[in-house]
Chain A
């Protein structure tokens, strides 16, 4: 298991709380809360070590579309970058519903 932490600049607008996913094989769980500062903090616990740059890239791509200030926690059980992007998108839909 590897634990990663990233910090990104964010918009003034705050994200809304949302939860999605399951820590099952090839899948992941995401918890999103509004952040108290104007930044987005991401903490990732992943079963697959050595993919820090991939995680950073996937999150940057996501945050370019959704810059709201958030604390994002991810519990990952070997999801592909495509699955990660899909779950992040679903999480936004959940946060808006």
Chain B
């Protein structure tokens, strides 16, 4: 493992799975490993830094075209292998800065590579695999959509370095012509625009917001703590429909997603009447 560049995502992947996630044929940025958790077989997935990435605009934990397509192949193999048997939980450990921004990426269709892994996660969930997203670090924009969005249950560390957002603050400030200070102030009033994970939790998407004593460096105690919550999330997912409805039906969503709920109710009424 000596040549592998470390990251928060890699450390948690290794702590939870006990493996480095390297698979022959996969790019080094993609970590995949079988493991056991709570007495059953699971599959761990993650994105790690890869300074030797073939794509220069990827390799710093981005979701690029290789991560998308190879990730898809790995997930499809899990779905296929479990087709006639128990559906292994798929646990994605997320510390991924964003999608990759580059000319090469656009030319070869990064939108499709990202769509492909989303479809694979969604199909895994629909097939009965508990799909769990464990957000231990950055999970911004395309990383959220590609790696976390289709999970039955999303868990995030309650830590200042954990970031779920549409866009990094400096870029958002540039585009909306606001200062970073103004964005911070706005986030206090407009919860969906806030950058702290506690505000994200208020939107109802998270199964758990987890205070971990050592978010940067897993130890036996914190690893056991995280595993316990993962097992609970897996069990909870197995008891529930294989949809994302749990997010919109959460108590938090009843407060901040009133408009979503109104759309759902009115659309159903008008659809039936049309």
Direct contact of A and B (CB under 8 A): no
